Amino acid sequence: MMNMINKLFASVALASILAGSVFAGGLLGFSASGLAQQTELEARFDKSLNAENLREWMRFLSARPHHVGSPKGKENAEFMRDLFRKWGYNAEIEQFDVLFPTPKTRILEMIAPERFTAKLAEPPVEGDATSGQTSEQLPTYNAFSADGDVTAPLVYVNYGIPRDYEELAKRGIDVKGKIVIARYGGSWRGIKPKVAAENGAVGCLIYSDPRDDGYYQGDVYPKGSWRNENGAQRGSVADMPVFPGDVLTPGIPATKDAKRLDRKSAPTITKIPVMPISYADALPLLKTLDGPVVPDGMRGALPITYHFGGGDGTRVHLKLEFNWDIKPAYDVIAKLPGSEFPDEWVIRGNHHDAWVNGADDPISGLVALLEEARAVGELAKAGWKPKRTIVYAAWDAEEPGLIGSTEWVEMHADELNKKAAVYINSDSNGRGFLGIGGSHTLESFANELGKSVPDPQTKLSVWERARANQMVNGSPAVRNELQSRPDMRIFALGSGSDYTPFLQHMGIASLNIGFGGEDGGGSYHSIYDSFEHYTRFGDRNFEYGIALAKVCGRAVTRFADADMLPFGFTSFADTVGVYVGEIVKLTDTMREETATMNKLIQSGMLTAAQDPTRVFVAPKPERPVPTLNFTPLQQALARLRESAARLDGALKERTLAPATQRELNAILMKAERDLLSESGLPKRPWFRHQIYAPGFYTGYGVKTIPGVREAIEQRDWIEAGRQIESVSGTLDRFSDTLDRAAKLAGR
Amino acid sequence: MMNMINKLFASVALASILAGSVFAGGLLGFSASGLAQQTELEARFDKSLNAENLREWMRFLSARPHHVGSPKGKENAEFMRDLFRKWGYNAEIEQFDVLFPTPKTRILEMIAPERFTAKLAEPPVEGDATSGQTSEQLPTYNAFSADGDVTAPLVYVNYGIPRDYEELAKRGIDVKGKIVIARYGGSWRGIKPKVAAENGAVGCLIYSDPRDDGYYQGDVYPKGSWRNENGAQRGSVADMPVFPGDVLTPGIPATKDAKRLDRKSAPTITKIPVMPISYADALPLLKTLDGPVVPDGMRGALPITYHFGGGDGTRVHLKLEFNWDIKPAYDVIAKLPGSEFPDEWVIRGNHHDAWVNGADDPISGLVALLEEARAVGELAKAGWKPKRTIVYAAWDAEEPGLIGSTEWVEMHADELNKKAAVYINSDSNGRGFLGIGGSHTLESFANELGKSVPDPQTKLSVWERARANQMVNGSPAVRNELQSRPDMRIFALGSGSDYTPFLQHMGIASLNIGFGGEDGGGSYHSIYDSFEHYTRFGDRNFEYGIALAKVCGRAVTRFADADMLPFGFTSFADTVGVYVGEIVKLTDTMREETATMNKLIQSGMLTAAQDPTRVFVAPKPERPVPTLNFTPLQQALARLRESAARLDGALKERTLAPATQRELNAILMKAERDLLSESGLPKRPWFRHQIYAPGFYTGYGVKTIPGVREAIEQRDWIEAGRQIESVSGTLDRFSDTLDRAAKLAGR
C-alpha cells in the first residue's frame, strides 16, 4: 500500500559526507574478528544475487490479480512457501479469517443540473498485457466504505482535511446532508470520509486530480507513467489510526472462532459511503459546481474554474452495496533457527497481496525480499549458522488494512514480546534514493547499512547519493543538519505498511527500507500497476531491487550475527530532543497566531479586509493558548541524554564477556518496549508507542510524541498536560533500562 | 497600461490602526486657520461629485476603439479639451508626432509535427456591445516588435526571464536559432523578447496561460470576468527600461521636425519578431512539445503535460510585418493659474488612449480625474483661488510606451524643472483597497490623504481598510511594521504608467494612486475591456471612482493651498534605510548561496543528486561574492537621518514668516531633483533617479537604489563599488539641501 510513502523517501532519505572506508571505525556490535567474517559473508551474499530472479518472480507473481481471497493470491502464497522450503527454511502458511468487503453495487450519477452516469471503469490499454483481465480484477472501490444510497447536493472540499472545512465555514458553506468530493492527497485517504462524516456529510467521493496524480505531473499511461483520465485509486478507508488489522477483531487474532464485533457497530468501518473515481468521471461533476471560487492552493489542474458548490445546483446520487464476506488471508512465514540464540528473532517482511496485479505495490519489494532470502538460504546451505533466528514473512491482506501482519502479531504477541529483536520492513521499491525510516535506536545501524552498499547508477554508496540528494533538494534546516551531524537522520514512521503492529503496538524496534524518487509514479492501486508499467517506468533492470536485497540482507545478517545487538541510544535521545523542541515551538507559534487572529477578529479588521459582496463568516476567537509546563519533559530528556551517552560509551569502549553480552542483549532487544504505555494513546489504546504514531488526522503521516503533540494541535490543554506527564514517565522508564544496561556494562 | 500594477496595489496597499480624528494633529503644511478653510473646501468638493458623470463619460469615451492615431482618440481629446474649457480651465491640445506601428501581416502556423494555423482573433461575445467593432479594433499584436519571417523549432521558456534560461541550460536546452513561447507574467512583457534575443532566439510568442490569466483564476468572460480562451493581451514590447517615450526621439520632444533616429538602429525596438496569442492558439503548439518535463512552478494550467521542447519535433512559422507610421498623439493640458505662486505647479494626470475600448484601462481612472477637475473648476468658479497653478493632463500614447507624457515632459523640461512641485498620477481604477506608490518624501502626506476619505463599502476610512487588508493578508514583515509604525509605508514606483518621466527622468516628487483588488480581472488589453465588462465586474456604481476623485482632489487642493509644501523627510530617510538593509542582506545571501552552490558543484554532489537517465549540465561555479564596502552608503544614510529629523522638526515646531515660507518652499519643491544623477543609471542615462527605477530585467517591477542593487544582482562587483560611491554622493547632496532648508527654518 506504500507507494505514496515511498515517494516520500526521495525527499527525506538517508544520506552523508563522501566518507572514506566504511568500516574504518568498526561495525556496530562486531568485534574485529567478527567484522572480518561478516565482511566476507556479505561479499558472498552479494555475489549470489541475480536480478533475473526478480524479473521472473515479478512476472509470475503479478501475472493475474492477487487480492485477498483471490485464487491467484493463494497460488502466490503457496508458490512462495515452496520456494522458502526449497531454500532450506521451515516455511508454513498461517491462515486468518478476515472481513474483506468487495463491491456488489456501484452507482454514481449526476441528476442535476444535467444527467451524467460515471463509468467507474479502467479500460485495458494497448501494450499492457494484464490490463484486460477484467474477469478477475477488483473494480475501483474503497474497502470498508459503508453501504449507502444517498442523493444530495455536491460540495468540493479540496483534500477534505480539517483545515479545508475551516475554509468552507468562512464562506458559509456547510456539508451537512451533502455529498463531498475530495481530491486524493494531503492525507491518507481514510481521513477524508472520517472528517466528512464528522462534519455531517452523507457521502464521499475521492478522485485523482491531475494536479497531484495525472497529466500535470507527467505524460500519462501508456505514453508515460502517470495516471490517465480513467485511472482510479483503490484503497482501504477503514479508520486505521484507531486500529489496523481485521476490523472485527481489534487486539485479538482473527482466527476462525474468534469473538467478532458486530459489523454494524465496528468502529473503523466508515459512517458514510465512499468511492474513488477517476478524473474523467469527476470532471463533469466539478464543472457544474457553483458558489464561491476555490482559493489558490486548493485548486487542481482540470481545465475549469474550481467552485465549492454547496448550493442545490449540482445533485448526485451515490449507491454502494458490498459483499461483506469473511475471506482467508495467507501469511507465509519462513524460519531459519538461530544456532546460539534461537529465542532472539530477526524478522523481515513485505506484503504479497495487491489491489490488482500490483507489480510495483508490493511485488517490487517482495521479489527483493525473496532474492535476499534465497541468498541467505544459500549461505546457510554452505555452512553459515546465524546466531539468531531469522524469520521471513510475506504478509497477506496488507492493502485492506495491514491485516495479515497485524493478525499474526496479535496471534503471537506473547512470543514476540519475548523474542523479537527487530523488524525490518519493505514494500514497493523503485529507482532512486535510499530512504530509511524507523526507530532511532537503530539510526546508527541504518547509516552503516547505507554506507556499505553501492548505488547502481553512480560510483557512490547509496548513503552518499541519498545525502547528495538532501544536500541539493533538502530544506535549509535539513542541509544545515547534514553538515553538522555525521549520521543522516532517519525519518520517523507513521503508518502505511506492515511495520505498524510491530513498532507501534508491540514496541519492537523496526526499520522500513526502500528506494525511490526516480521512477515514474501514477500506477498506484490501479490496474495499470503491471509488469509492463514497472519494467518501463520503474526499476527497469531490477538493479535497485538488488540494492534493496543488499541493504536488507546486511540488516538481517548483521542483526543475526552481531555479538552485541547493534542499537545506539545517543541518536535516539538527540532525536527526541528535536521532537520536544518542535512541540515547544509549535505551542509558542500557536499562542502567537491565536493571539494575532483573535485580535484581528475582535477588532473587526478580519472582516474589514473581506470583499463585502461575498459571504464571509468570521471564525470565533479561540481560547488563548496557555503556558504549558514542559519542564517534566525537558527533565526526562536531559536524563535520557545522559543515560544514552553513558550506555553508548560503555558499549563502545569495552569488550564484554559473552555472558554479560548475552545478558545485555536481552535488555537491549526489549528496550523499545519501554517506550510503550500500557493504556495506549488517547482514544486509540491499540497504538501504544509514545514516540511514533500515525496522525489521527493524517493517517500515514507520522506524529512524533503523539500524545502531547495531538493534544496541543487539538487545543486540549488539560490532555496535553496529562500527556506531558505520561511521556516523561515513559522516558524515565526507558532511561532506567539504559542505566541498568550501563551498569551491567560496567558503568 | 497599468492593470497588472493596479492588482499589485491590493497586496501592497496603504493601511493602519483604527484611528481617531484624522486632523487631531493638524494637517501637513497648513496653519490652524488654513486647516479650517481646507476642511470646508473639501466638504464642498465632495458634495459636488456625481457618480453618474463618471458612468456617462465612460460610456462616451469607450464607445469605440481609441488607440493612438484613431479618429475616436482625436474625438476624445477634443471632447475633454472642451470640457476643461467649459469648467474654466485654459485648455489646449499639444500634438506630438510619434512612431506607432500597427500590423500589416500576422501569420503563425505550426508546420510539424502537424499543421495548425493560429486564429489570432478575439471574437465578439454576446452582451458586449463594443466587442463586435472589428473594423476599428487594432488586432492582437505587440507594438515595437521587429518585422520578421522565421521558421524554427519551438521552446517553452516559462515566463522567459533570466532564471528560466538557467533551468533550460541545466537540461542542455539552447534557444539559439529557435522560437520561444513564454507565458505572460513574472515580468513586464517587454523583458521576454529582450531576454530571448540575448539568448539567441529568433522569434518570441507570448501567450496568456489560464493559470495566470484565465479559467484557473475564475469564470471566463462573458460568464465571469476572466480571460476566455480567445483573449490575447496586446501591449508594447519596446525596451522601456532603457528609455520610454517615442522610440525615435530619446530625450527630446517628438515634434514634427525633431531629429529622429533611423528606425533600423532604434535601440528599444525588439531584435526579433514578437506576438501575443491566446491560450486557444497556444494549446495546439504546447501539446506537441517533447523533451524534458517542465518542473513544478514553471507549469501553467492547460490540461497537458508541459514539456520544454527544444528538439526538432515542433516547428513553427512566424511572419510579422508592420506599418511603421508616424501618428499624431494628442495630450490635453488644462491649467488653472495660481493666485499667489503661479510658478509652482501641481500636476495631475491620467492617460486617455487605450489598446481598444479601454473602459478599465485607462477610462476608469480618467473619468475620476475629469470629475475631480470639474469639481475643482466649480470651486474656482465659486470664488476659490488656488495659491499654486493646477495642471490637469490627459495623456495620449501611454500604451505604446508612456509616449504622450514623456514627450510633453521632454518638451517642457526646463519649465518643469523650475516649476513642478509635484506630479499625481492615476490609471485604471477599481473596487477594493487604496494603493499609493511614490516618493517617500510624500509618504506622510499620502497617509493623511487616505485617512480623510471614507471607504464606500464600509464605515472605515480608505486608509483603515487598506491597513486591515495588509494586517490580514500581508507578509509577517509587513504586519510587524504596521504594528510599530504609525504611517503605512507607500510602495516604491517602478514603471508602467505616466509618472515615470516626471519622477525618474526629471526628479519631480510623484504619487501614483488607485483602488483595486476586489474587481474581477481578465480584460486587460483585450477587446473585452468594455463598458459592459467594467460595469459588471469593475467598480459597478463608480463609487471607487468617486473615492479616487476625493483622494486625488485632496492631494491637488492641499498641495495648491498649503502654506508649507507638505513634504516630510524622516519617512524618506527611514525608507532608504530599509533599502540599504535589503541590499546588504542581498549581498550576504548571495555570498552564502554562491559558496554553497559552488561546493555542491565542485564536490560533484549536485550531479550525484540528478537522475542519470536525464540530461543534466551542471552550472559553472560563480566567482565568490566579495565583501563590498557599504560604509560610504551607511555614513550617508546616517547623515540623511539626522538632516531629515532636523528639518522635519523645524517645520513642525515653528510658524515661519511668509517670506521664509516662500524661500523654503522653493527649496522643498526641488529637493527630489537632488536625487538625480547627471549621468543616469549604467547603460540607461535617461533614467536618472538614484532611488527608484524600473528593473532592467523586470520592466514594471521597481528596483530601489537601482545602480547598486542591479550591479550586485548582475555580479558586477566593480560597478557595485562605483555605484555605492555615486549613491552616497547623491544622498549627501540631498542632505546638504535639507540642511540648507533647516537653517532657513532656524535650525
Q: pLDDT tens for residues B636-660? A: 999 999 999 999 999 988 789 999 9
CA–CA min distance A719, chain B (Å): 31
* Confidence at residue B652, expressed as pLDDT on a 0 to 100 scale: 87
CB contact under 8 A, B600 and A302: no
Per the prediction, chain A carries an average pLDDT of 95
CB contact under 8 A, B305 and A220: yes
For chain A, domain boundaries = 3-18+50-99+327-561, 102-324, 570-744
Q: What Cα–Cα distance (Å) separates residue A139 from each residue in A21, A193, A720?
A: 52, 20, 44
Give just the sign of the alpha carbon dihedral B634, B636, B639, B641.
negative
Asked if residues A693 and A702 have their Cβ atoms less than 8 Å apart, the reply is yes
CB contact under 8 A, B220 and A305: yes
Q: Which residue has the higher pLDDT, A386 or B13?
A: A386
* Confidence at residue A700, expressed as pLDDT on a 0 to 100 scale: 84
Closest chain B CA to residue A296:
B217
Question: b/e map of B246-264 (b: 16 or more CB within 10 Å)?
Answer: bbbbbebbbeeebebbeee
Confidence of residue B24 (pLDDT cuts 50, 70, 90): low
Residue type, B487: D
CA–CA min distance B262, chain A (Å): 47
* Confidence at residue A19, expressed as pLDDT on a 0 to 100 scale: 33
Residues from B contacting A (CB-CB < 8 Å) are 18, 210, 215-220, 224, 226, 293, 299, 301-305, 432, 457-458, 460, 464-465, 467-469, 471-473, 479, 518, 596, 600, 603-606, 608-609, 611-613
Interface test with B, best of A298, A472, A537, A614 (most B CBs within 10 A): A472
- pLDDT tens digits, residue range A11-54? 333 333 333 344 556 899 999 999 999 999 999 999 999 999 99
Residue B454 buriedness (CB in 10 A; 0-12 / 13-18 / 19+): middle
Nearest to B609 among A293, A473, A613 (CB): A473
Q: Which residues of A touch B469 (CB under 8 A)?
A: 608-609
- Mean pLDDT calculated for residue range B229-244: 97
Percent of chain B with pLDDT over 90: 95
User: Is residue A635 predicted with pLDDT exceeding 50?
Assistant: yes
ipTM of the complex: 0.94
CB contact under 8 A, B299 and A465: no
Q: Check if A102-324 and A570-744 are the same fold.
A: no
User: Is residue A677 predicted with pLDDT exceeding 70?
Assistant: yes
**DSSP one-letter code for A620:** P
User: Is residue B17 predicted with pLDDT exceeding 60?
Assistant: no
CA–CA min distance B494, chain A (Å): 26
Q: Which residues of B touch A589 (CB under 8 A)?
A: none
State how far the Cα of B328 lies from the Cα of B235, in Å rounded to an integer: 19
Closest chain B CA to residue A304:
B215
User: End-to-end alpha-carbon separation of chain B, Å?
Assistant: 45
Confidence of residue B23 (pLDDT cuts 50, 70, 90): low
Confidence of residue B8 (pLDDT cuts 50, 70, 90): very low
- pLDDT tens digits, residue range B81-96? 999 999 999 999 999 9
- pLDDT tens digits, residue range A528-580? 999 999 999 999 999 999 999 999 999 999 999 999 999 999 999 999 999 99
* Confidence at residue A7, expressed as pLDDT on a 0 to 100 scale: 38
* Confidence at residue A671, expressed as pLDDT on a 0 to 100 scale: 98
The fold adopted by the segment(s) A570-744 is Transcription Elongation Factor S-II; Chain A (1.20.930)
Q: Is the backbone of residue A705 left (phi > 0), alpha (psi -120 to 50) or beta?
A: left
Asked if residues A471 and B603 have their Cβ atoms less than 8 Å apart, the reply is no
Query: Which of A667-676, B280-289, B383-392, B654-663 is least confident?
Result: B654-663
User: Is residue A6 predicted with pLDDT exceeding 70?
Assistant: no
Confidence of residue A5 (pLDDT cuts 50, 70, 90): very low
Q: Which residues of B touch A303 (CB under 8 A)?
A: 210, 215, 301-303
User: Is residue B458 predicted with pLDDT exceeding 50?
Assistant: yes
Nearest to A600 among B219, B472, B611 (CB): B472
User: Is residue B139 predicted with pLDDT exceeding 60?
Assistant: yes
Q: Which residue has the higher pLDDT, B8 or B30?
A: B30
CB contact under 8 A, A609 and B472: yes
Class of domain B102-324: alpha beta
Q: Which CATH number applies to A3-18+50-99+327-561?
A: 3.40.630.10
* Confidence at residue A1, expressed as pLDDT on a 0 to 100 scale: 56
Cis? peptide before B267, omega within 30° of 0: no
- pLDDT tens digits, residue range A145-184? 999 999 999 999 999 999 999 999 999 999 999 999 999 9
- Mean pLDDT calculated for residue range A210-220: 97
CA–CA min distance B580, chain A (Å): 25
- pLDDT tens digits, residue range B551-564? 999 999 999 999 99
Whose cell is 540648507? That residue is: B740
- pLDDT tens digits, residue range B373-430? 999 999 999 999 999 999 999 999 999 999 999 999 999 999 999 999 999 999 999 9
- pLDDT tens digits, residue range A49-81? 999 999 999 999 999 999 999 999 999 999 999
CB contact under 8 A, A215 and B611: no
The CATH architecture to which B32-99+327-561 belongs is 3-Layer(aba) Sandwich (3.40)
Question: b/e map of B275-285 (b: 16 or more CB within 10 Å)?
Answer: bbbbbbbbbeb
CB contact under 8 A, A216 and B299: yes
Query: Measuring CA to CA, which residue among B519, B515, B524 is closest to residue B536?
Result: B519
